[in-house]
Structure 1
Amino acid sequence: MAVYFHEEDLPEGVLAPGPVAVDTETMGLVTPRDRLCLVQISDGGGDEHLVRFNVGSAYDAPNLKAVLADPARIKLYHFARFDLAAIAHYLGVQATPVFCTKIASKLTRTYTDRHGLKNLVNELLGAEISKQQQSSDWGAAEINEAQRDYAASDVRFLHRLKDILEVRLEREGRTAMAQACFDFLPARAALDLAGWAEHDIFSHM
């Protein structure tokens, strides 16, 4: 198990075939304003790859974009809505098809309102992750070891969580409902980018 740090693109051929876990770190929560600083990606084999984009980056990352845009690879996220918007806005690709562990959790773990990644990892996998670096400066000139470990942990567990949550979705008869939600997420991200992040266009009002 190792965490690899790359500048501006993912090296070619470092990921095994199949689903990849993906996460992003940005300068804030307003996607057009707060630049994309880091993309984390893992094939579930034990290694995590962190791709850092510097100030003024052209986001010309052909290897990373090829993986993210590959329709044969499922992309695993926790809160895909945000990551899809950041990737579409800065890298210009639709990182689909999608499996979102937060949505799967909300559809199956209806006995709780705690659907954060830390909660899922603790309950379903019996592991602990630290969120201490969540609000750190991802645009700094140096990404320190604590930040790197935090960023890697955001993709480290997603393959295992997907396996468990798929079983629960099937058990509760909600697999098709979950898939419909996953399929809608790119449109939800596009609505966010277009200015409807805080307004429910499906509501009566």
Structure 2
Amino acid sequence: MAVHFHEEDLPEDVFAPGAAIAVDTETMGLITPRDRLCLVQLSDGSGDEHLVRFGPRSNYAAPNLRMVLADPERLKLYHYARFDLAAIRFYLGVTAGPVYCTKTASRLVRTYTDRHGLKDLARELVGAEISKQQQSSDWGGPDISDAQRDYAASDVRYLHAMKVELDRRLEREGRTELAQACFDFLPWRAELDLAGWPDTDIFAHI
């Protein structure tokens, strides 16, 4: 298992064609148009993670990364896809689907708890411990520390295994179709966020 660090783009042919890819992002904050995209993390579940770092004056061209993210034949696995999809759309200009969101799946099947964070899911579903110590660190600095790299990699390291268990539970509870409909809507939920409706339930009666 290794963490590979790249500047501004992925190398060519890092992932096998059609392989599902776990995806996460690190930004300068939570307001997408204001807080720039600093890092994109990816894993195909084989044991290696790839981190792509963008500098403060990046033009986000990244043709290889954009090709992987926009590939309609390649499933993208996220935890809280809504945020990552918006960041990728705003800065890289692609819709990074089709989508599977472990947080959404968790909310549909783990109704016995309100703890749907990645750390809680990884512990319960696959017995892995994830440290969140670097979550609020400065991702825009000139150097990314080893601790930051390991944290960023851990955000995509377990998503494939978590999906297997979540799929089993979705099937058991008869909610697979409902989950898929939610996943299909998530790119549009991200578009609504970017268009100015981040805190509004447009389906609400009032």
TM-score normalised per structure 1? 0.99
Write out the 4+ residue segments of structure 1 that deviate beyond 4 Å after TM superposition. Answer: none
Specify the alignment match of 2:12 in structure 1. 12
Specify the alignment match of 2:137 in structure 1. 136
CA distance, structure 2, for counterparts of residue 187 and residue 13 of structure 1? 29
CA-atom RMSD in angstroms: 0.5
Specify the alignment match of 1:72 in structure 2. 73
Give unmatched runs, 5+ long, in structure 2: none
Matches within 5 A, 1:2-151: 2-17=2-17, 18-151=19-152
Q: Could you tell me which amino acid in structure 2 is paired with residue 102 of structure 1? A: K
After TM superposition, give the deviation of residue 126 of structure 1 in Å: 1.0
After TM superposition, give the deviation of residue 16 of structure 1 in Å: 2.5
Identical residues among aligned pairs (%)? 75
1:88 is paired with a residue whose SS is helix
Q: Could you tell me which amino acid in structure 2 is paired with residue 6 of structure 1? A: H
CA distance, structure 2, for counterparts of residue 98 and residue 127 of structure 1? 23
Q: Could you tell me which amino acid in structure 2 is paired with residue 9 of structure 1? A: D
How many residues of Structure 1 are paired with residues of Structure 2 in the alignment? 205
CA distance, structure 2, for counterparts of residue 22 and residue 36 of structure 1? 13
CA distance, structure 2, for counterparts of residue 183 and residue 125 of structure 1? 25
Q: Deviations over 1:107-145 (max 9, x none)?
A: 000000000000000011111010000000000000000
1:124 is paired with a residue whose SS is helix
After TM superposition, give the deviation of residue 204 of structure 1 in Å: 1.1
CA distance, structure 2, for counterparts of residue 33 and residue 105 of structure 1? 29
Give unmatched runs, 5+ long, in structure 1: none
TM-score normalised per structure 2? 0.99
Specify the alignment match of 2:179 in structure 1. 178
CA distance, structure 2, for counterparts of residue 91 and residue 127 of structure 1? 31
